[in-house]
Amino acid sequence: MAQNYSKRVKGLKRGTKYASKLHKYFIWILLAFVILVFGSTYLYWKLERGGQGNLLEALWTILFTLIGQGEFANHPQTTVGRVIVFVLSVVGISLLGVVLSEVLARVMKYNLKAMMGLNRCKYEGHTILCGWNSRAELVLKELIASGTQVAVLTKTKPAELSHYDVFFVAGEPTSVERLEQAGIEKAESAIIFAERGEGLSADEIDAHTVLTTLAIEKRRPEIYTVIELLNPANERHARRTGVDDIVFCERTLADIVAACASQQGISSFISDILSYSDDGSALRAADIDPQWNGKTVGELFNAMIADGELPLGIMTPDENADTERWNHEINPPADRVISLPMRVVFISRNAK
């Protein structure tokens, strides 16, 4: 029995060895197959057909010969033709089998790695979501609605991800290797969620969020980072990492709930301007084009109103900040001269 087992193990080892050899020499095998098919096509066209008809028809005949079908496969006219049929029937079909099995193996391997979050993201200008919580799916939906590609980096794959066309990377968001796998070099922005864990206090959750931000900003300071903090007292730690934007969930929620009670009826308007996935309107910010440099804000706003947009204000970079921070001015004077870089804040309709 032991001998039998040993034989099997040896057989498996041999199989693995051959598979890895096949993997290594796949390009050469593929090349041999292509040369065989096209060489046979040329010889068939030149010798069997005497150069009559077109080469595409000859290629079709050779492909059918490869699987034993067609007139040529059964009745080759010349000696060279008979050799071609013989070689294609023995060597060609074997090579085709090898090529097909390797292609299938590669596709399966890629899909398996994608499922396990082991692939490398090739997106450009995308947003990386680090961590996952109850709000993350809604954020994902909004980003997709705004036309942004998304990569998700979490320890375990959330079940909800199967409904969306996103890139998944499995791993700890503080790991530089995993961040690189999520395509941090070419990402436009990153959102770091406050990941709640059992028994973790708000400060402990914030500490983990800050560590992730630190890893991201250290690896690529130009990326635009948005983080979710639970305790506003931790802002000073977050600012030291070079984070661009901090969202205090509880404070934002409080401001909006209070606005809903004090300005009765305003809630539908607020929900509307915050959402991209509905068929209403949304708040947006865009860089002002160089063509407007030296013109006035009034001219820009009039052009936007003519396009059906509602301009609200402008944003200028904060010169004193180490990170990308913008100062805003709501309803600026119409005679303010545009001096780039400048951004405009406006409300416009969502694409349907």
Partner 1 sequence: MTDIFVNIPEGHTIICGWNNHAMQIVKELEAAGHPVVIVCAKRPEELRNSTRAVIEGDCADDATLIKAGVMTAVSAIILAEDVGRLPVDTVDARSILTALAVEQLHPEIYSVLEILNPDNLRHASNANVDNVVLCEQLIAHFLALCASQRGISGFASDIFSHSDNRSSLNTLELGPEWNDKTTGEVFAAIRAQGDLPLAIMRRGEDEEREEWLHEINPPADTPVVLPMKVIYIACEKK
Q: What are the tokens at 91?
A: 């060597």
Binding residue for partner 1, selected from 63, 99, 211, 270, defined by CB under 8 A: 270
Answer yes or no whether residue 207 interacts with partner 1 by CB under 8 A.
no
Answer yes or no whether residue 265 interacts with partner 1 by CB under 8 A.
yes
Residue 274 sits at the vertex; the CA angle it makes with 201 and 190, to the nearest 5 degrees, is: 55
* Residues in Cβ contact with 5 at an 8 Å cutoff, skipping those fewer than 6 apart: none
Answer yes or no whether residue 310 interacts with partner 1 by CB under 8 A.
yes
CB of 165 to partner 1, least distance (A): 16
Answer yes or no whether residue 17 interacts with partner 1 by CB under 8 A.
no
| Total of chain residues touching partner 1, rule CB under 8 A | 72
Give the strands of the sheet with 245-248, arranged side by side. 167-170, 150-154, 127-130, 189-192, 224-229, 245-248
Residues 68-107, interacting with partner 1 (CB under 8 A): none
Site string for partner 1, 102-131 (x = CB under 8 A): -------------------------x----
Helices (H), 147-296: 176-181, 202-219, 235-240, 249-262, 267-274
CB of 201 to partner 1, least distance (A): 11
Q: Could you give the CA distance from residue 141 to residue 163 in angstroms, rounded to a whole number?
A: 10
Phi-psi category of 131—alpha, beta or left, where left has phi over 0 and alpha has psi -120 to 50? left
Binding residue for partner 1, selected from 17, 120, 186, 325, defined by CB under 8 A: 325
Binding residue for partner 1, selected from 20, 111, 331, 339, defined by CB under 8 A: 331
Answer yes or no whether residue 148 interacts with partner 1 by CB under 8 A.
yes
CB of 34 to partner 1, least distance (A): 46
CB of 211 to partner 1, least distance (A): 19
DSSP state of 101: H
Instruction: Burial-class residue 42 by CB neighbours within 10 Å (0-12, 13-18, 19+).
Output: middle
Nearest one of 89, 92, 75 to 36, comparing CA atoms: 92
Among 41-49, 109-117, 205-213, 308-316, which window interacts with partner 1 (CB under 8 A)?
308-316
DSSP state of 291: G
Binding residue for partner 1, selected from 260, 292, 296, 350, defined by CB under 8 A: 260
Binding residue for partner 1, selected from 136, 151, 153, 161, defined by CB under 8 A: 136
